[in-house]
Homo-oligomer: A and B are copies of this chain.
Amino acid sequence: MSNPVLAEVFRANLVESRHRGAVAVADADGATVLAIGDVATPVFPRSAVKALQALPLIETGAADRYGFGDEELALACASHSGEPGHVAVAERMLASAGLDASVLRCGAHWPMSQAAATELARRGEPTALHNNCSGKHAGFLCDACGIGVDPTDYWRPQHPVQRHVRGVLENLTGASLTDARCAIDGCSVPTWAIPLQNLAVGFAKFATGRGLSPERARAAARLRTACAAKPWHVAGTGRFCTEIMQLFGARVFVKTGAEGVYCGALPELGLGIALKCDDGAGRASQAVMAAIIARFLPLSDAEQAALARFTQPSLRNWNGFEIGAIRVTAAI
């Protein structure tokens, strides 16, 4: 079993590197619209399912209780760049539940944004607020406080918050999330391996509400609206998820995950998308996601032109010389 090459990295006119992977596109009834490579073996979706992990925050009433708007809800779905605006919203979310950064258990890392990291280095050191997952963790903590349970161990698999998340993931994807499929994510919460086919169906449900309880469908719509309204809060300056959602608004939802995963939704078509590059390469998975959007979504000439820099990104060296490009293969 060998997945096809989905993207090639050119230096001058020669292929320097190549990325294999698998792609699933499905509707909310479970019908496969596109399957490239192995879409049946479970893969860790990592941060690509943050929007599904954020559904309990709304379903429990915690988001309303703490008066969360689009910025807070988008940040709860985010792998953010640790820019000052991201940090401020995470802090605000925690403060609304009477908490501060000391309760975050995601660990600290330097902001993904080089500019934010440089600016921070001039003043101090990173905290857990700068972790790209701090919005998700703030959401978990607010959820715990909202339902009146001790938030201390909010990140452990057996905590009510994570049990609720697990149930949501099983409901949307139809996958059985056994302990044998559970691992620890980069930010220490559980991550369960789920087949791409199931993830695509899950995001089709997220996109449409079909097959979900009315309450869950409303929560999904509210998260999609928040991410479409505040795409900068979902990632950050110059990031793929942000720029794609700035370009397409509510027509496209996309979310990156570590190790080459991307999940997405095309609500007007009722489709969900899930893909992974075998080797974990983000540069390839985002080019492939852009190509999948281009393949399915009806685009104006202007949109097609705008999308080209994501489907065929040019590569530049430290002097800014164009030295090559990434090209998605005919497999897509």
Residue ranges of A at the interface with B (Cβ–Cβ < 8 Å): 2, 9, 11-14, 16-20, 42-44, 105-110, 114, 117-118, 121-122, 131, 180-188, 191, 193, 259-260, 277-281, 284, 317-321, 323-324
| 3 A-B pairs with the lowest CB-CB distances in the bound complex, closest first | A107-B318, A121-B121, A12-B183
Given contacts A12-B183, A122-B122, 13 further A-B contacts (CB under 8 A): A2-B2, A11-B44, A13-B180, A14-B193, A17-B277, A17-B280, A107-B317, A109-B318, A110-B114, A110-B118, A118-B121, A121-B122, A279-B284
Query: Inside 8 A of A131's CB, which chain B residues have their CB?
Result: 318
Q: B107 to A117, Cβ gap below 8 A?
A: no
A8: shortest Cβ distance to chain B, in Å?
Answer: 10
Number of copies: 2
Q: Are B323 and A183 in contact (CB under 8 A)?
A: yes
Contact partner of A14 (CB less than 8 A), chosen from B20, B110, B181, B186, is: B181
A136–B184 alpha-carbon span in the complex (Å): 41
Which chain B residue lies CB-closest to A7? B279
CA A18 – CA B280 in complex, angstroms? 8
CB atoms of B187 and A317 under 8 A apart: yes
Q: A318 touches which one: B42, B188, B260, B278 (CB < 8 A)?
A: B188
Give chain B nearest CB distance to A257 CB in angstroms.
11
- A44, B14: Cβ atoms closer than 8 Å: yes
Residues of B within 8 A of A279 (CB): 17-20, 277-279, 281, 284
Q: Whole-angstrom distance between the alpha carbons of A181 and B191 in the complex?
A: 44
How far, in angstroms, from A186 to B16 measured CA to CA in the complex?
Answer: 13
Q: In the complex the two chains form, what is the Cα distance from A277 to B278 in whole Å?
A: 13
